[in-house]
Structure 1
């Protein structure tokens, strides 16, 4: 319609067009001009991507955060790329039996095979076919790996940030070169169709480049000394066997740490291919060790060791809690389960909603942590028989089969359904019926067609349980408020989707839903590095809430110490709370007597830094890429209440700085001291912050009373000044609750200190309507590639 009514289109003039008129002459001239330009046009495709083309060494280029761009996925519509995909299948399909990969343990630079238990890798598309054999690390291997990582004989930790960046740039190139083999391994060992594994390789490349750039940015901070944390253990899942282990390894290495990768037992072959790419790039085998082992024995020893300075886990919520219970002082960064929901309101484009839901629920057979497994329909949509029929028809049309078949849209689950997934696929609860009945193949128990349950009730097993497979539960909501409540009841908070064209509903949902990644009018899967940093809240995350694929992720794997004061030139503070505190400090006659000039100067510097960093980074939403038709905002949400625990060894700066950081971040603050603890700094702070009223509270409680609050989840976040000041009784309570204790040294540099009082959230909004940008047509956006 827009084109036909444009000033250059004859239809606009058709009803009043006369031969010889000005309009006639203008249209005639336009026609002649366009005809004369025909010779300038080419009939060659503008899309020239060719995955068969060799990649030169000069393509290993380091990037900065400002120049980073995402790696393009494969365009399978191009004949040359389709032939490349067929070549992957031809190359990998017969690597079975005696020709299957023989995978060692790699510890201390050595490949170890003899005198170790041998396990096999099975193809989910062909369950009796062996596609790999791997050795399980012994307890001695685990201990040797930890000792080697601590000793760092290759000197990886002592390399400069620039040298590590060059190696990681080569690693990104090697991953590009290995794209086909990584996809082939994921197909053979993980049952992933090529269209699902291809974006994983792009994401892995993005992780390597983006984390190297992030580390470079953090190392450039002038007010802090930055060092590696030490030894990082990476425990990835099997469902994203390329991207997630690559991300953990890349983050650890970029921060300067030595890394031990314990691959998922179901996808050891993929992890082996991945590690080889890093080693070919120049990452020493002593800096990246490959330790396949049983989770209950070698894996437990690996993550519980005091030699492990951080553990990056992607797995179940129960797994994370067990790890913390066994090792309360573990520095655990975990992305865990999700009972993800998409809400569809009466104000949605219903056909578009069905398209998004089907892809989100059944991509990779529903085995994505971000997959939609709850569909919450507003009453009008739920009661619409056409919607139910269309959704059911779309689900039934999904082609389920072997991942080796290029026509397959949904491949197998990685192992035959059991436990929660088996129950979810086989049982109905009160009020439920099958809109689409799932079926399991008699020839291959890993092949299951998707199922849709209709009429799931609030609080039911299906409502509250993560199934991690191809089953979608449909619930009815009275309105958007009821729908939000149903979603938040699960306690998980990984991804969440809304299908609505109503701005009021979109605003209500965006501000009220508890999830780390929010998606509006699009699918809930497929997060892209920098564009939609990934990670959850609630039962879906353990740690400070800093997202994978975001600019601060590697900061968790570094140590920081103040080396100089932030510039504290007299300037107006934008934060009302900090401005009020500064006025109170300047006016009070006892400030120098209580704090001393040195501490007072550090507090002033911290005020300045917190204020500047908050309004530049933490207090605003960021969308660097600015894609046409899609908003992608990375924003920070304050932890509602932070409990600042005062230890007898805390100095005045550590006390003041934590409370200041919490307030500038818009958190409520509970300043917690032990009964009978006397601190002039606490008393002085209480007096100075009288005007903060309900935003700060001073409480007395024993360590045991504090631990009881943590165990009962009545504390949202604890902030200690140093890790050695956290008592054992409080650490043990953490293992039962999963509450995050921020115990890094207190800094005057706001770019780091403010991280411990916030959680990150990504909001992705597909604002165009079938390519029509509407009122936003004239916005300055990135050029369309």
Structure 2
């Protein structure tokens, strides 16, 4: 969660604590890092207010109505144990986490201060009641730090500057993006849920969104018609994929589903793929804005293809030919989703293979007063 100098700091701290320590920080969407702009990070009052907010969280068992932070599911081991007990060079405890009983499952929340870029805690997901705080020179630096981990499920920003928000929304690499609110608690339809990068396996649609049901089957075209495909792609882009939608239409919160181009798609095919199919694939890359690369089985072996997958800037491998286990394993190791669906000439079924979904949730009120 990024906090800039233009944020409502008290609200940012409130949402940060909720995002970091709700469900004892065990949710996959929990905020494990606060990335704070320098002028705020260096302000002693920010440190004091954050520490006070964290220490005020009552830890206990579920039968106690006063409990805010419950137990972890089992006594911490591995990464979580390390995160709760061992600092990295240069770090200090703003709030020192402590075990509260003999079960090992009740821990007071901890805050690691001055987490360094590229450090173990910066790049590791621990899933527990521990938060790291990083210092960013400016918004550009903060976005760079936020995008650095190989995972990209949820992320947020607190800022009252529309220009900062627009910049962040254009560059953040997460599947669920939150503005001026906590980053947990996605709701079906409002915030279809699913990540980018290694927070996603495969190229399917987000659960809770309009495209999810269609992923439970395989679509096949009786015959391929490139002219029809271009018309269908244009219509689907105009009505769905090229526009932002907010079906919930809440006055107090915008909940947008939008589609973004992929970094790239590699199409692996053999001589059985027709010219019509190739023409349709080319039309899809033009409409989506996603770069495409081609690999023919007659010109490149699976072994050669597997050897260079890790160095390619692609997010999906479109297989239109049989593939060896070695090639599939190489794609998995590189974090590349494998798509085996046949080519179709219908925009609603073909274009999703060339795009990724992003849910954006933006608070439209300040303390209950609508902003517009």
Q: TM-score range by the shorter chain?
A: over 0.9
Q: 1:515 aligns with which of 174, 177, 180?
A: 174
| CA distance in structure 2 between the partners assigned to 1:638 and 1:415 by the alignment | 40
Deviations 1:656-705 (A, max 9, x none): 1112112211111223224xx5xxxxxxxxxxxxxxxxxxxxxx644322
| CA distance in structure 2 between the partners assigned to 1:394 and 1:345 by the alignment | 19
Aligned-pair CA distance for 1:546: 1.7
Paired position in structure 2 for 1:764: 361
| CA distance in structure 1 between the partners assigned to 2:123 and 2:353 by the alignment | 29
Aligned-pair CA distance for 1:713: 5.0
Paired position in structure 1 for 2:233: 610
| SS of the residue 1:386 aligns to | helix
Paired position in structure 1 for 2:318: 719
Matched positions, count: 372
Could you tell me which runs of 5 or more consecutive residues in structure 1 were left unpaired when the two chains were aligned: 1-341, 566-598, 678-699, 777-785
Deviations 1:345-375 (A, max 9, x none): 0000000000000000000000000000000
Q: 2:332 aligns with which of 718, 722, 735?
A: 735
Higher RCO, 1 or 2 (CA under 8 Å, sep at least 6)? 2
Q: 1:493 aligns with which of 136, 145, 152?
A: 152
Deviations 1:253-293 (A, max 9, x none): xxxxxxxxxxxxxxxxxxxxxxxxxxxxxxxxxxxxxxxxx
Q: 1:735 to 1:669 in 2, by over 3 A?
A: closer
Given the alignment of the two structures, is residue 640 of structure 1 paired with residue 285 of structure 2, yes or no?
no
| CA distance in structure 1 between the partners assigned to 2:104 and 2:339 by the alignment | 45
Aligned-pair CA distance for 1:393: 0.5
Aligned-pair CA distance for 1:649: 1.3
Q: 1:544 aligns with which of 203, 213, 220?
A: 203
Q: 1:708 aligns with which of 307, 319, 327?
A: 307
Q: Is contact 1:373–1:471 with CA below 8 Å preserved after alignment? A: yes
| CA distance in structure 2 between the partners assigned to 1:443 and 1:669 by the alignment | 57
Aligned-pair CA distance for 1:730: 1.8
| CA distance in structure 1 between the partners assigned to 2:125 and 2:153 by the alignment | 12
| CA distance in structure 1 between the partners assigned to 2:329 and 2:81 by the alignment | 34
Given the alignment of the two structures, is residue 628 of structure 1 paired with residue 260 of structure 2, yes or no?
no
Aligned-pair CA distance for 1:719: 1.6
Paired position in structure 2 for 1:505: 164
Given the alignment of the two structures, is residue 481 of structure 1 paired with residue 140 of structure 2, yes or no?
yes
Equivalent runs, 1:203-602 vs 2, <5 Å: 342-563=1-222, 602=225
Of the two, which has the highest radius of gyration?
A: 1
Aligned-pair CA distance for 1:513: 1.0
Could you tell me which runs of 5 or more consecutive residues in structure 2 were left unpaired when the two chains were aligned: none
Equivalent runs, 1:80-95 vs 2, <5 Å: none
| CA distance in structure 1 between the partners assigned to 2:312 and 2:207 by the alignment | 25
Q: Is contact 1:370–1:524 with CA below 8 Å preserved after alignment? A: yes
| CA distance in structure 2 between the partners assigned to 1:346 and 1:360 by the alignment | 20
Deviations 1:463-516 (A, max 9, x none): 111110000000000000000001111121000010001111111111111100
Given the alignment of the two structures, is residue 670 of structure 1 paired with residue 329 of structure 2, yes or no?
no
Given the alignment of the two structures, is residue 659 of structure 1 paired with residue 282 of structure 2, yes or no?
yes
| CA distance in structure 2 between the partners assigned to 1:475 and 1:659 by the alignment | 43
Paired position in structure 2 for 1:751: 348
| SS of the residue 1:561 aligns to | coil
Q: 1:727 to 1:444 in 2, by over 3 A?
A: closer
| SS of the residue 1:704 aligns to | helix
| SS of the residue 2:219 aligns to | strand
Q: 1:559 to 1:545 in 2, by over 3 A?
A: closer
Aligned-pair CA distance for 1:714: 4.0
| CA distance in structure 2 between the partners assigned to 1:708 and 1:606 by the alignment | 34
| CA distance in structure 1 between the partners assigned to 2:63 and 2:196 by the alignment | 36
Deviations 1:75-123 (A, max 9, x none): xxxxxxxxxxxxxxxxxxxxxxxxxxxxxxxxxxxxxxxxxxxxxxxxx
| SS of the residue 2:235 aligns to | helix
| CA distance in structure 1 between the partners assigned to 2:312 and 2:107 by the alignment | 39
Q: Is contact 2:204–2:212 with CA below 8 Å preserved after alignment? A: no
Q: Is contact 2:263–2:314 with CA below 8 Å preserved after alignment? A: no
Q: Is contact 1:638–1:758 with CA below 8 Å preserved after alignment? A: yes
Q: 1:486 to 1:384 in 2, by over 3 A?
A: same
Q: Greater helix share, 1 or 2? A: 1
| SS of the residue 1:560 aligns to | coil
Instruction: State TM-score, norm by structure 2.
Output: 0.96
| CA distance in structure 1 between the partners assigned to 2:326 and 2:99 by the alignment | 49
Instruction: State TM-score, norm by structure 1.
Output: 0.46
Q: 1:668 to 1:712 in 2, by over 3 A?
A: closer
| SS of the residue 1:645 aligns to | strand
| CA distance in structure 1 between the partners assigned to 2:158 and 2:338 by the alignment | 36
For the aligned residue pairs, the C-alpha RMSD in angstroms reads 1.5
Paired position in structure 2 for 1:244: none
Aligned-pair CA distance for 1:344: 0.2
